[in-house]
Amino acid sequence: MKVLPAICPSCNSQLKVKSLICERCQTEIQGQYELPTLARLSTDDQAFILEFIKASGSLKKMAGLLRLSYPTVRNRLDEIIERIELAEESKQDDKEEKL
């Protein structure tokens, strides 16, 4: 299965969803929709978040799974949190520009 791209390969801007289609009945919805914040993260960051949730949010478990030190895992999580906050700020700025 292909991975949903979040970044434009031409100019590195955030992509938006233009249409959705039901494979069963072929109903198609068109518009311009923002990608959810987590979908804007890299596939590596998304995989980390998924494993973090499956580890019940335990950095100690994550360190064991990834075979990394606790501080390294903590730093990785902090970096992802920063990217999420930036994505949310960017989303808010886009909304304010439209007003």
pLDDT in tens, 73-84: 999 999 999 999
Best CA proximity match to 71, nearest among 59, 88, 83: 59
Q: Kindly report the CATH number assigned to the domain that includes residue 89.
A: 1.10.10
**61, part of any domain:** yes
Is the predicted pLDDT of residue 96 greater than 70, yes or no? no
Q: What is the pLDDT of residue 78?
A: 98
Tell me the whole-structure pTM to 2 decimals: 0.77
Q: What is the pLDDT of residue 51?
A: 96
Domain tally, the chain? 1
- Residue 1's pLDDT band (boundaries 50, 70, 90)? low
Name the residue range of residue 83's domain: 36-98
